[in-house]
C-alpha cells in the first residue's frame, strides 16, 4: 500500500490544497523507499490498516498477511529495555488514546528472529471528534537496542563469569528483603570464598585464574541455579540469594554440595588445579531484616568457617560477633603456650586386630589454657595454619613425639600429623632430618600423616619433598582417605606406606541406606593390592568393629580400644606389660552425643520452666532441673534464638530426664547442632518482641494460650555446673 492510497483514504479530513499536492505524496513515498523511516496506521478497533512496504518486507511476504491484525498481536513492549520506566502493556497504552512517544516494541521477522522498532503515533479523530485510530511512524532500532542491552548487561553482570555483579546483587537483595518484610517471608544469603585460589593465580598465571573462575561459575549454576540468584562480588568472592528458604538442614546440604563440587579437581590449561571453598550463611529475618545486617551476619559466618579450618560452612549465630578478636587472642595465647609448656601430646593406640597388640600410637596435640581450660585442636590448629606459627608448632610436635617414643619398645611406631602448609615449607625435610639425628629414633618408627591437601602446592616441590622424606626412611601415611580431594592418582605418584580410612565412613557403616561399608571394603582391597597398610579410624562400638574386621581390617584406631592418653599413662601400661588391649565398648554405635552445659527453657502446657541441658545428640538430650516428669510427657525445648524443639520424655529419674526429638537436629557446620527451623521474629513481634533482636529464651506467647494459668505440674530445682 502506497502513501498516496493512505492519503486518499483519509483525505476527507485534510485541506483540499494539501490533498491534491502531488509533490507532498512524492516526498513521503521517497522518504519510505529510502528507508529513512516507515509509516503505520490503525483503525478505531486497534487493527493495523497501513504499514510502509519496506516495513512489511521485514515481517512477511505480503501486506495481506498482517493488514487487519490487532496491533497487540504484532507488537509487544519489551520489558528488558533498560530505559522503559512504565510497566503498562501496549493494549493499555492504546486504550488511553494518548500519544505514543518512541515506545520500543518487539516484533518477529520473516525468519522468526526478533527485531525491535521504535513506535511514535498520535490519535486521529474525525470532524465529530470520534476516534478513528492511530497515525504514526516507525523505525528499526534493532542494532541500537541490542547495544543498549549489552551495555546494560555489562553494567549488571560480571564480564568474566556471566554471573550477576555486586551492583545487581545488592539491588536484588534490597528489593527482595523489602518485599519479603511486608509479606513475612524468609530469605537466605550465602557468602562464598574460594580457598587456595590465590595460589593458583600466582603460580599458573592470571589467564589460568580467569579460566578457573569461569569453571567455578558453571559449577555453581549446576548446583544451585534453580534455587538461587548467583553473583560474583569480585575476586574469588561469590554470593547466593535463596528466596523462601529457612530450613537450615536444606541450606546445610546445599552448602555441603557446593563445597564438594567446587573442591573437585579442575583442568586448567592442561594442568590439574585444586581449590576449596568456605561458606557463610545468614537467614532473614532471623539474622537481620535489612540487607546490610544480613550481609554482615553472613560475612561473620564466612570468617568463622575459614578460621574453623576452611572447606566448611557456618551459620550465623550471635557468638560470632567477636570472632576476629577471639582469633587474635587465641594466636597470641598460643605463642605463649608454645614457650610456656602448656602444650602436651596425648597418644592413641593403633591396634592389630588379630591379637589386639599395640603396634603404634598417633600423637594428638592438647592445649590446657591456664584460664580457659582445655581448648580443642579444631579451634587453635586452623588459627596456627593461617600464620607462620604452624611451622613452629609442627616441629615441636615431631620432636616431642620422637623423644617420647624413645621410651617405648622399639617395635612401636609413632605417627605425627603434618599440615599442608608445614609440608610445603622448603625446610621441612631438613627439620625431620635434624629431629631424627637429635633423638636417635630409627626412621621407620616415625610415621608422618598428611591429607590430600599437600598436593595443592607446587607439584615439583611436592615430589621433591616426598623423595627427600623417603630417602630418610620415614613412613608416610595418607590420612582421611576417601574424603575431600581424594584421587587414585595420588597413590600412583606419592610413596605412601599406609592409608587411613576416615571416621565418617565408620560412623555410618552399619546403616542400611549407606554405602560406607562397601567403601571401607574397597579401600582395604585397594591397599592390599598396592602393598600398603590400612588403618580404620574411629571405631567405637562392637557392631562397627565386627563389620570392619569382616571387611578385612588388620589395624584399628578408635575408642573401642582406647582414647588418646598422656605419656605417663602410656609408660605405666608398657611397664606392666600392657602391649595388648582388649576391645571394650557398646554393642551398637549411637550417634555422637555431646557433653554440654546449656541453660534452656522447657514449655509444658501453659508453663515455662528453667533447666540445664547436659548431653545433646541429633536425636535427643539429657536434661536436669525438673522433678516428677512422667515418661511419655510431651515437651517443647526453648533453646534460644527462636529454636524450639518438640520432644517426648523417654527416661525420667529424680531431677534428670532423657528426651527424644520429634525432628532430629542438624549440624550447624561448626561441630554443633541446631534445629532445622526457627520461630519467625515476626511471630515474636506479634507477642511484643522487637524484630531486630532475638534474646535467648523467648518464645511466642500464643504457645502459652490465653486465659487463666493452671498450676505447674513439675517441680523445678536449681542446677549448678558442678
- The pLDDT tens digits of the residues spanning 203-220 come to 788 888 999 999 999 999
527 Cβ contact list (under 8 Å, min separation 6): 498, 499, 533, 534
pLDDT at residue 458 is higher than 90: no
Residues 497 and 638 in one domain: no
Determine the pLDDT at residue 341: 87
- Residue 307, pLDDT > 80, answer no
The domain total for the chain is 4
Mean pLDDT of 66-92: 77
Q: How many C-beta atoms surround the C-beta of residue 500 within 10 A?
A: 26
Reported as type and span, the H/E element at residue 42 is: strand 38-42
User: 710 and 622, same structural domain?
Assistant: yes
Task: Find the domain containing 600 and state its range.
Answer: 594-716
- 186 and 278 part of one domain: yes
Q: Give dist(CA 668, CA 675) in Å, integer.
A: 9
The answer to whether 345 and 336 have CB atoms below 8 angstroms apart is no
56 in a structural domain: yes
Give the pLDDT of residue 487: 59
Q: How high is the pLDDT of residue 711?
A: 81
Degrees (nearest 5) of the Cα angle 212, 214, 216?
70
pLDDT at 615: 87
Which of 127, 149, 171 delimits the end of a domain? 149
C-alpha cell at 265: 579437581
What pLDDT does residue 627 have?
A: 93
pLDDT for 17: 44
Give me the CATH number covering residue 183.
3.30.70.270
**HEC readout, 147-196:** HHHHHHHHHHECCCCCCECHHHHHHHHHHHHHHHHHHCCCEEEEEEEEEC
Most confident of 64-68, 156-160, 243-247, 483-487: 243-247
Place of cell 516428669: 629
Of 368-372, 461-465, 468-472, 481-485, least confident by mean pLDDT is 481-485
Across 21-25, 256-260, 669-673, least confident range: 21-25
CATH of the domain at 686: 2.40.10
- Is 327 a member of any domain? no
Q: pLDDT tens digits for 144-184?
A: 888 887 776 677 888 899 999 998 899 899 999 988 887 88
Q: Is it the case that residue 697 has pLDDT exceeding 70? A: no
Q: Are residues 499 and 565 in the same domain?
A: yes
Q: Judge whether 330 lies within some domain.
A: no
Give residue 192's pLDDT band: very low, low, confident or very high (50, 70, 90): very high
What's the pLDDT score for residue 9?
47
For residue 336, pLDDT beyond 60: yes
Asked which of 129, 149, 169 is the last residue of a domain, the reply is 149
Q: Cα–chain-centroid distance for residue 516?
A: 24
Looking at the structure, do residues 164 and 144 belong to the same domain, yes or no?
no
Give pLDDT, residue 262.
Answer: 92
Q: Select the highest-mean-pLDDT range: 12-26, 239-253, 476-490.
A: 239-253
Q: Tell me whether residue 671 is in a domain.
A: yes
Q: Residue 586 pLDDT > 70, yes or no? A: yes
Average of per-residue pLDDT across 604-609: 84
The rounded distance, in Å, linking the Cα atoms of 385 and 390 is 5
Q: Do 660 and 559 share a structural domain?
A: no
Q: Within this chain, do residues 277 and 372 fall inside the same structural domain, yes or no?
A: no
The pLDDT assigned to 480 comes to 80
Q: Are residues 228 and 109 in the same domain?
A: no
Is a pLDDT exceeding 50 seen at residue 495? yes
- The confidence band for 352, taking pLDDT boundaries of 50, 70 and 90, is very high
Q: How far apart are CA 414 and CA 297, in angstroms?
A: 43
Is residue 437 in some structural domain?
yes
> Domain of 31: which CATH number?
3.30.450.20
- Higher-confidence residue of 443 and 638: namely 443
pLDDT, position 327: 75
What one-character-per-residue DSSP string does 355-370 give? TTEEEEEEEEEEEEET
If one compares 15 and 141, the residue with the highest pLDDT of the two is: 141
Which is higher by pLDDT, 686 or 541?
Answer: 541
Categorize the per-residue pLDDT at 673 as very low, low, confident or very high, splitting at 50, 70 and 90: confident
CB burial of 647-665 (b: ≥16 within 10 Å; e: otherwise) equals: bebeebeebbbbbebeebb
* In a shared domain, residues 270 and 221: yes
Segment 543-548 shows an average pLDDT of 93
Angle at 121 between CA 116 and CA 126, to 5 degrees: 150
pLDDT > 70: percent of the chain:
86
C-alpha–C-alpha distance, residues 555 and 355, integer Å: 10
Higher pLDDT: 385 or 692? It is 385
CATH code where residue 383 lies? 3.20.20.450
512 and 373 assigned to the same domain = yes
Q: pLDDT band at 2, cuts 50/70/90?
A: low
Whether residue 449 sits in one domain with residue 402: yes
- Decide if 371 is inside a domain: yes
What pLDDT digit, counting tens, does each position of 259-305 carry? Answer: 989 988 888 888 888 888 999 999 998 888 899 999 999 998 998 88
Q: Give residue 698's pLDDT.
A: 45
Q: Which band of pLDDT confidence, cut at 50, 70 and 90, is reported for residue 15?
A: very low
Structure confidence at residue 471 as a pLDDT band (50, 70, 90): very high
How many Å apart are CA 437 and CA 442, to the nearest integer? 9
pLDDT band at 10 (very low <50, low <70, confident <90, very high): very low
634 with 544, same domain: the answer is: no
Q: Reduced to 3 states, what is the DSSP secondary structure of residue 328?
A: helix
* Window from 90-104, 207-221, 543-557 with minimum mean pLDDT: 90-104
Please report whether residue 332 resides in a domain: no
Q: With bands split at pLDDT 50, 70 and 90, how would you rate the model's confidence at 722?
A: low
> Is 334 inside any structural domain?
no
Amino acid at each position: 500500500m502506497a502513501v498516496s492510497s493512505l492519503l486518499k483514504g483519509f483525505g476527507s479530513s485534510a485541506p483540499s490544497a494539501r490533498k491534491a499536492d502531488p509533490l507532498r505524496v512524492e516526498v513521503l513515498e521517497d522518504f519510505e523507499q529510502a528507508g529513512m523511516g516507515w509509516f503505520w496506521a490503525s483503525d478505531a478497533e486497534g487493527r493495523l490498516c497501513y504499514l510502509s512496504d519496506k516495513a512489511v518486507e521485514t515481517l512477511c511476504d505480503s501486506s495481506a498477511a498482517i493488514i487487519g491484525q490487532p496491533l497487540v498481536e504484532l507488537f509487544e513492549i519489551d520489558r528488558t529495555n533498560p530505559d522503559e520506566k512504565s510497566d503498562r502493556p501496549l493494549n493499555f497504552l492504546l486504550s488511553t488514546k494518548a500519544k505514543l512517544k518512541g515506545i520500543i516494541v518487539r516484533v518477529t521477522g520473516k525468519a522468526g528472529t526478533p527485531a525491535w522498532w521504535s513506535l511514535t503515533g498520535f490519535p486521529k479523530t474525525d470532524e465529530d471528534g470520534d476516534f478513528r485510530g492511530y497515525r504514526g511512524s516507525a523505525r528499526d532500532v534493532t542494532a541500537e537496542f541490542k547495544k543498549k542491552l549489552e551495555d546494560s548487561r555489562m553494567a549488571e553482570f560480571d564480564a568474566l563469569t556471566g554471573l550477576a555483579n555486586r551492583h545487581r546483587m545488592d539491588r536484588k537483595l534490597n528489593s527482595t528483603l523489602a518485599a519479603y518484610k511486608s509479606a513475612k517471608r524468609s530469605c537466605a544469603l550465602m557468602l562464598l570464598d574460594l580457598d587456595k585460589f590465590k595460589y593458583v593465580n600466582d603460580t599458573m598465571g592470571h589467564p589460568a585464574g580467569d579460566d578457573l573462575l569461569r569453571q567455578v561459575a558453571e559449577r555453581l549454576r549446576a548446583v544451585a541455579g534453580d534455587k538461587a540468584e548467583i553473583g560474583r562480588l569480585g575476586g574469588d568472592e561469590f554470593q547466593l540469594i535463596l528466596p523462601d528458604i529457612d530450613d537450615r538442614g536444606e541450606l546445610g546440604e546445599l552448602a555441603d554440595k557446593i563445597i564438594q563440587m567446587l573442591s573437585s579437581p579442575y583442568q586448567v590449561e592442561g594442568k590439574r588445579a585444586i581449590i576449596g571453598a568456605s561458606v557463610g550463611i545468614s537467614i532473614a529475618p532471623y539474622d537481620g531484616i535489612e540487607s546490610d545486617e544480613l550481609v554482615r551476619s553472613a560475612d561473620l559466618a564466612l570468617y568463622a568457617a575459614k578460621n574453623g579450618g576452611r572447606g566448611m560452612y557456618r551459620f550465623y549465630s550471635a557468638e560470632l560477633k567477636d570472632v576476629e578478636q577471639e582469633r587474635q587472642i587465641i594466636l597470641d595465647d598460643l605463642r605463649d603456650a608454645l614457650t610456656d609448656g602448656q602444650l602436651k601430646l596425648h597418644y592413641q593406640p593403633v591396634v592389630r586386630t588379630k591379637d589386639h597388640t599395640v603396634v603404634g600410637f598417633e600423637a594428638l596435640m592438647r592445649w590446657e589454657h591456664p584460664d580457659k581450660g582445655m581448648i580443642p585442636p579444631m579451634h587453635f590448629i586452623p588459627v596456627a595454619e593461617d600464620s607462620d606459627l604452624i611451622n613452629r608448632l609442627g616441629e615441636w610436635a615431631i620432636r616431642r613425639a620422637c623423644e617420647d617414643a624413645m621410651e617405648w619398645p622399639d617395635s612401636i611406631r609413632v605417627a605425627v600429623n603434618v599440615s599442608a602448609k608445614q609440608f610445603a615449607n622448603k625446610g621441612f625435610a631438613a627439620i625431620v632430618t635434624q629431629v631424627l639425628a637429635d633423638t636417635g629414633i630409627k626412621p621407620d618408627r616415625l610415621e608422618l600423616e598428611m591429607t590430600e591437601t599437600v598436593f595443592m602446592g607446587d607439584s615439583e616441590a611436592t615430589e621433591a619433598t616426598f623423595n627427600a622424606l623417603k630417602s630418610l626412611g620415614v613412613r608416610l601415611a595418607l590420612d582421611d582417605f576417601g574424603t575431600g580431594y581424594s584421587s587414585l592418582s595420588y597413590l600412583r605418584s606419592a610413596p605412601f606406606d599406609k592409608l587411613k580410612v576416615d571416621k565418617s565412613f565408620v560412623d555410618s557403616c552399619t546403616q542400611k541406606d549407606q554405602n560406607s561399608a562397601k567403601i571401607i571394603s574397597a579401600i582395604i582391597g585397594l591397599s592390599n593390592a598396592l602393598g600398603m597398610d590400612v588403618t580404620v579410624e574411629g571405631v567405637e562400638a562392637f557392631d562397627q568393629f565386627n563389620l570392619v574386621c569382616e571387611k578385612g581390617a588388620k589395624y584399628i584406631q578408635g575408642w573401642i580400644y582406647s582414647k588418646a592418653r598422656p605419656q605417663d599413662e602410656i609408660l605405666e601400661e608398657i611397664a606392666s606389660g600392657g602391649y595388648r588391649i582388649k576391645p571394650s565398648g557398646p554393642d551398637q554405635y549411637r550417634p555422637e552425643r555431646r557433653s554440654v552445659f546449656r541453660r534452656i527453657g522447657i514449655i509444658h502446657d501453659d508453663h515455662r520452666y528453667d533447666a540445664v541441658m547436659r548431653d545433646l545428640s541429633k536425636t535427643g538430650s539429657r536434661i536436669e532441673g525438673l522433678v516428677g516428669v512422667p515418661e511419655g510427657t510431651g515437651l517443647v525445648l526453648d533453646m534460644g534464638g527462636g529454636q524450639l524443639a518438640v520432644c517426648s520424655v523417654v527416661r525420667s529419674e529424680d531431677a534428670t530426664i532423657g528426651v527424644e526429638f520429634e525432628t532430629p537436629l542438624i549440624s550447624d557446620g561448626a561441630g554443633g547442632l541446631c534445629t532445622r527451623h526457627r520461630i519467625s521474629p515476626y511471630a515474636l513481634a506479634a507477642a511484643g518482641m522487637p524484630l531486630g533482636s532475638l534474646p535467648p529464651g523467648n518464645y511466642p506467647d500464643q504457645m502459652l494460650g490465653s486465659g487463666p494459668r493452671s498450676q505447674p505440674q513439675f517441680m523445678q530445682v536449681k542446677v549448678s555446673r558442678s
